[in-house]
A and B are shown apart, each in its own frame.
Chain A
Amino acid sequence: MRRLLLAFGWFLAMPCLAGQETPYVPARDDIVLQTVASISDPRVRAFGTLRAVLNQDPHDVTRAVKLAEAYLDYGRDTGDARYLGRAEAVIAPWLSHSPAPIPALLVHATILQSRHYFAEARAQLRSILDRDNDNAQAWLTLAAVAQVQGDMRAARQACAHLLTSSDPLIPGACLSSLNAVTGNADNAYRVLTTLWPQARAEPVAVQSWIQGILADTAKYLGDEAGADIHFRLALQLTPEDNFLLADYGDFLLDHKRPQEALDLLKNESQSDTSFLRQVYAEVALGVPQAMTDAQQMASRFAALEVRGTRTYQREQAGFELFVQHNPHRALELAQQNWTVQRAPEDMRVLLEAALADGKPEAAQPVLDALAMTRLQYPIIVSLVVQVKAQMAARPPALAVPQTRSAASVPGRPGG
C-alpha cells in the first residue's frame, strides 16, 4: 500500500506544499523579483540570431538543431533545466518524422539522458547507430549512459568504437573514465596525464572535461591533494559548471572542509544541487542558517516530487539520511535510485542508507556490482567493510528494530 501511495506523487507531496506559499503584492515597483537570462549575455543574444535563422527556413533541421544545442549548452552552464524542455520544443517537429533526422535524435537522446531516462536514451542511441554505425557522438553518449547504468561491457564496447578515429584523445578519455571505476584508476590517471598536453589545444569544455575525469580518478585513488588541483583547474576553465561545483563540493565535504565548500557554493543557491551541498556544509559547521535552509531544500524536493520528477533521488536520499535523519526513507530512495543509475555515488548512498537503517542486506546489489567492477574508491571500500561487519554481526533477512543513526558513516555531516 505504501508503494501505491508513492506512485501518486501529487497526493503525497502536495500537502507539504499546500499553503506554504502565500501570494503577496510587492511594496514597490522597482523591487527585483527574478533574475533571468539577459541579452547582455552573448549566449542569450545568440538565441535570437539562431531563432531568426531558423524562422527563415523552418524546415531546415540543421538550423533547428543549432538552436536546440545552444539551449542545451546554456542550460548546462547555468544549471537551468528549463532549457531541456525548450530545446525539446525546437526539435519536436522532426521527432515525429519517419525516419527522424539523426541530428534531431541525438539532441533528443541528450535530453532524455539529462532527465535520467537512461533506458530510453540508450534505445534512441541504438536506433541512431543502426542507421549510422560511425556516429562518434552517439557512441560517446552511449558509453556515458551505459557506464552510469553500471553496464561496463557495453560502455567499453562503445568507447572501443571511438578508437577508429585517428586521434587518441576522445577514446582515451572515454576508456579512462571507465577504467577509473573498474579497478584500473592508476592506469587511467597515467593515460589522462599523457593526453593532457594534447587537450590544451581543444575548446575549454573539452579541457574541463579531461580535468574533471582526472579529479575523479585522483579521488578514487585516494589522492586528496591531486584531486584538489584537478578540480580547481577544471573550475578555472568552466567556473559556472554546475556539475563540477557539486562534485567539488562533495569532495570538500568528504575531506572535512565544510567552510571551503560553503565559500564555493554560497552564491549558487539558485541551483538545487549546489544549494544541497551548501546545506550539508551549514549543517557540518552548525551555523544557525542550517535549519531554515534545510527546510527550503525539503520544499524544493517536495516540488520535484509533485511534478513526478525522479531525477534527484540520489541527492534526495543523501538529504533524507544526513539532514532529515530518516534512514528508512533514505534507503527507499537509494534503492529506487539504484534501479536507474549505478555510478560510484549511487553505490555510496545505497551503502550509507543501508548501514544507517540497519539493513546491510539491502546493500547486497552494490556488493555484487563491486565484485564485477572492483572499484577502489577508499570511501566505498570503508563503507563495504562496515556493511559486511554489520551483516556478520547478525544474520540477514530478519526484521529487527533499526539502528537509527548515521553517525558511523564517514565523510558527511551527520550524527
Chain B
Amino acid sequence: MSLRGFIAALTLLSAAVLPATALAHKESDAYVNLHTDPANPNALLGQFDVALRDLDFALGIDSNHDGNITWGEVKAHRDAIERYVLPNLAIKGDGLTCQITPTGQMIDAHSDGAYDVIRFKALCDKEVPDQLTILYHLFQDIDPYHRGIISVYARGQTSGAVLGPQNTSTTLNLNRPDRWRQFKSFVIDGIWHIWTGPDHLLFILSLLLPAVLICVRRPRTLFDPGVWQPATRFWPAALELVKVISGFTVSHSVTLSLSVLGFVNLPSRLVESGIALSVIVAAFNNIYPLVTRRAWVVAFAFGFIHGLGFASALAGLKLPPVAMAVSLGGFNVGVEIGQESVVMPLIMLAFVIRKSSFYRVGVLRIGSWIIVAIAGLWLYQRLFDVTIPALAFLTPS
C-alpha cells in the first residue's frame, strides 16, 4: 500500500494508537425505577429516565438545530418520546403483562447530563406478584452498548439488574427465597471463618481440655501437675462445655454485631493481640488453674475480643437493615456450627481417653504448654509487627 493510500486508510489512526486513556463519558444508560403503590396493590409506580442526548439522536428533539435542547422542546416532543420509549419496556407479574400508562414528564440531572423523566403507572391483573419479569429493548437498534439499569423497590427490599441487547430480560424475586439464600451464604462464611481461624479454635480447645477432668488439688508451682480426677459421667462434663460455648457465643455475637454496624472500631493490631493473649490465658489456666469452676466466665469475657476479630471477615459490609440482620444472624449461626462441629467430636474423644495418664500429662499439660508457646509467638508477632516464617502455616488468614 502506498503512503497516501495508507494514511487515507488510517481514518481511525488517532483512536487506534491511543487506547490507554478512557473516553470522556460513560456510554448510554437509562434508568427504570419501580415502586409499589401504597394506594393500589395492583399497581407499580414507575420512573423511566432517558438521556436527552440519546433521545435527540433517535428522534431529533432539538427542533431549531441550535445545539441546545430547551425544556420547551422536550415538552413539545413528549408524545413522540413516550411512543418511542415505552413500548420498549414490558413488565410482567407472574407471567402476566402489566399495562403501562404514562402519567407525567419531568427532568432529572444525572452525572452525565440531563435526562427526560417519564413517570408511568404499571397496572397488573392481580396484586404485585412474587415474581416480576422485566423486558427491555430500548435503543437496541441504534446502540448495542446501551444499558437499562432497573431498580425495583417492593415490600421493603430493593433488587435490580442491568439489561442490554445480550440480556434483554430479568426476573426479580420480590419474596423471601432470596433472603434465605443470603442467610445460607453467610452461615457458610461463618463456618469457614472458624475452620480457617486456628486462634479461635485453640482458644476453645484450651477451654475444652479440662472439661472431662475434675481438679482435686491445684498445682502449687508451675511444675506441679496437681491432682486431677476423671469425670465420672459424660453429661455433666458436656453440660459444662455447653455453658462455656454459650458464654463465648453471647459475648462474641455482641461485639461482632457492634463492630459490623460501625459502633465499635478498634485497631486490628490490638484486637489480634488480644485474641492471642486470650489463648495464652486459657491454656495457662490448664497448667496452673486459677479458674476451675466457672470456665464459662473466661469464655464469656474473652468472647468480646474474639467477636471483634470475627468482624474483620465482614469488614465493609453495607446492607439495608433487614438484609444486615439476616447476614449477621447467618454469620453468627455459621460461627456456632463451625465451633460445635469441632468441639463435639473432640469432647467425646477426650471423655473416652480421660482416664489415661497420656491424657492428663500428654494432652492436658504438654498440650497446653504447646498452645501457650504458639499463642505467645502470635502475640509477639502481632504486637511487634514481625513475621516468624516457621509459624506461617498457623497464621490465621
Distance, CA A30 to CA B70, complexed state (A) = 5
Where chain B touches its partner, the secondary structure class is: mixed
Which of A81, A113, A212 is the one whose CB lies under 8 Å from B27? A81
Give Cα distance in the complex from A369 to B57, angstroms.
44
Which listed segment binds A: B86-94, B155-163, B211-219? Answer: B155-163
Is there an interface contact between B111 and A303, defined as CB atoms closer than 8 Å? yes
Contacts of A113 in B (CB 8 A): 15-16, 19
Residues of A within 8 A of B117 (CB): 23
A16-B256 Cα distance, complex, nearest whole Å: 25
Q: Which of A14, A69, A89 contacts B158 (CB 8 A)?
A: A14
Q: Are B11 and A69 in contact (CB under 8 A)?
A: yes
Q: How far is the CB of B236 from chain A (nearest CB, A)?
A: 40
Chain B residues near A206: list those with CB within 8 A: 7, 10, 13
| Residue B38 interfacial (CB < 8 Å) | no
The count of residues in chain A whose C-beta lies closer than 8 Å to any C-beta of chain B is 109
**If the complex has contacts A34-B113, A86-B143, are A1 and B11 also in contact, measured as CB distance less than 8 A?**
no
Q: Does B9 contact A (CB under 8 A)?
A: yes
The answer for the CA separation of A247 and B146 in the assembled complex, in Å, is 28
- Contact: B20 with A341, CB < 8 Å? yes
Q: Residue of A at shortest CB range from B69?
A: A34
Knowing A271-B25, A304-B26, A401-B267, the reply to whether A89 touches B65 (Cβ < 8 A) is no
Stretch at the interface among A56-64, A138-146, A372-380: A138-146
- A345 contacts partner chain B, Cβ-Cβ < 8 Å: yes
B66 interface residue, CB < 8 Å from A?
yes
Q: Say yes or no: is B181 at the interface (Cβ < 8 Å to chain A).
A: no
With a CB–CB cut-off of 8 A, which chain B residues contact A31?
70-71
State whether B71 touches A30 (Cβ < 8 A): yes
| A1, A144, A165, A209 — most chain B CB neighbours (10 Å) | A1
A193 to chain B, nearest CB (A): 18
Q: By the criterion CB–CB under 8 Å, are A307 and B29 in contact? A: yes
B106 to chain A: closest CB distance in Å?
4
With A15-B318, A144-B19, A400-B269 already in contact, the answer to whether A25 and B106 are too (CB < 8 A) is yes
Chain B residues within 8 Å of A39, by CB? 65
What residue of chain B has the Cβ atom nearest to residue A121's Cβ? B19
User: Is the pair B22, A273 in contact by a Cβ cutoff of 8 Å?
Assistant: yes
Quick one: which of B21, B67, B117, B160 has the most chain A CB within 10 A? B21
B157 to chain A, nearest CB (A): 12
CB distance B143 to A81 under 8 Å? Answer: no
A106 touching B12, Cβ below 8 Å: yes
Give the complex CA separation of A11 and B151 in angstroms.
10
**Which listed residue (A30, A169, A205) contacts B14, Cβ 8 A?**
A205
Instruction: Determine the residue in chain A with the shortest Cβ distance to B23.
Output: A81
Partner among B47, B114, B162 whose Cβ is within 8 Å of the Cβ of A306: B162
List of A residues within 8 angstroms of B324 by Cβ: none
CA distance A40 to B62 in the complex (A): 12
Given contacts A24-B107, A33-B71, A86-B142, contact A270 B14 (CB under 8 A): no
Residue with the greatest number of chain B CB neighbours at <10 A, chosen from A303, A312, A341: A303
Nearest-Cβ distance from residue B57 to partner chain A, whole angstroms:
7
Q: Is the CB of B71 within 8 A of A28?
A: yes
Q: Say yes or no for B385: interface residue by CB 8 A criterion.
A: yes
- Which listed residue (A81, A144, A167, A343) contacts B3, Cβ 8 A? A167
B313-347 residues with Cβ-Cβ distance < 8 A to A are: 313-314, 316, 318
- Interfacial residues of chain B within 132-152, with CB under 8 A of chain A in the complex: 141-147, 149, 151
- In the assembled complex, the CB of B12 is this many whole angstroms from the nearest CB of chain A, namely 5
Cβ-defined contact, A140 with B71, below 8 A: no
- Find chain A residues with CB under 8 A from B318 CB: 15
Does A76 reach chain B (CB closer than 8 Å)? yes
B79 sits at the interface (CB 8 A): no
Chain A residues with CB below 8 A from B127, complex form: none
Q: Check: A9 CB closer than 8 A to any chain B CB.
A: yes
- Determine whether the beta carbon of B111 is less than 8 Å from that of A296: yes
Alpha-carbon separation in the docked complex, A30 to B71 (Å): 6
Chain A window 82-115, contacts with chain B (Cβ cutoff 8 Å), 1 for yes, 0 for no: 1011101100100000000000001100100111
Q: Are A92 and B144 neighbours in the complex by a CB distance under 8 Å?
A: yes
Give Cα distance in the complex from A246 to B24, angstroms.
Answer: 10
- Chain B residues with CB below 8 A from A304, complex form: 26
The minimal Cβ–Cβ distance linking A361 to chain B, given in whole angstroms, is 12
Docked-complex contact A2 and B24, CB < 8 angstroms: no
| B16 x A273 contact (CB < 8 A) | no
CB distance from B333 to the nearest CB of A (A): 16
- Complex Cα distance, B10 from A208, in Å, reads 14
Q: How many A-B pairs fall under 8 Å by CB?
A: 275
On whether A202 and B7 interact (CB within 8 A), knowing A1-B189, A106-B12, the answer reads yes
Kindly state whether residue B53 has any CB partner on chain A within 8 Å: yes
Q: Does A114 lie within 8 Å of B23, measured CB to CB?
A: yes
Residues A23 and B47 in contact, CB atoms below 8 Å apart: yes
**Which of chain A's residues have a CB closer than 8 A to the CB of B72?**
29-30
Within 8 A of A (CB), among B1-43: 1-3, 6-7, 9-29
Are B385's CB and A398's CB within 8 A?
yes
Give the distance to chain B from A324, nearest Cβ to Cβ, in Å: 14
Chain B: CB-nearest residue to A68? B12
A337 to chain B, nearest CB (A): 11
Contact B53 A137 (CB under 8 A): no
- CB of A320 to closest CB in B, whole Å: 14
Which chain A residues border B57 with CB–CB below 8 Å?
A: 36, 82, 86
Name which residue of chain A comes closest to B387, CB basis.
A398
Known contacts A10-B161, A30-B70; is-contact A243 B18 (Cβ 8 Å):
yes
Nearest chain B residue, comparing its CB with the CB of A400: B385
Known: A26-B107, A35-B68, A177-B17. A89 touches B142 (CB 8 A): yes
B199 within 8 A of A: no
Minimal Cβ-Cβ distance residue in A for B110? A21
Task: Report yes or no: A36 in contact with B52, Cβ–Cβ below 8 A.
Answer: yes
> Given known contacts A167-B3, A303-B111, is B20 in contact with A343 (CB within 8 Å)?
yes
A36 with B15, Cβ < 8 A, contacts A24-B106, A85-B27, A395-B387 known: no
Given contacts A81-B24, A82-B54, contact A14 B151 (CB under 8 A): yes
Q: Which residues of B contact A86 (CB under 8 A)?
A: 57, 142-143
Q: Give bound CA distance, A277 to B119, whole Å.
A: 36
User: A36 and B53 in contact (CB under 8 A), knowing A165-B6, A400-B385?
Assistant: yes
| Separation of A9 and B29 alpha carbons in the complex (Å) | 14
Q: How far is the CA of A273 from the CA of B23 in the complex (A)?
A: 7
Residue contacts A-B, CB under 8 angstroms, 20 given: A14-B149, A21-B49, A23-B117, A30-B70, A33-B114, A34-B113, A34-B114, A38-B65, A39-B65, A41-B67, A85-B144, A106-B12, A121-B19, A165-B2, A166-B3, A205-B14, A246-B21, A272-B24, A306-B162, A343-B20
Besides A33-B69, A145-B19, A400-B385, 12 more A-B contacts (Cβ < 8 Å) are A14-B151, A34-B53, A36-B53, A79-B23, A82-B53, A85-B143, A88-B145, A136-B6, A148-B20, A242-B23, A272-B26, A307-B27
Q: Which 8 A-B pairs have the closest CB atoms?
A: A79-B24, A38-B67, A271-B24, A29-B72, A85-B143, A85-B145, A167-B3, A23-B106
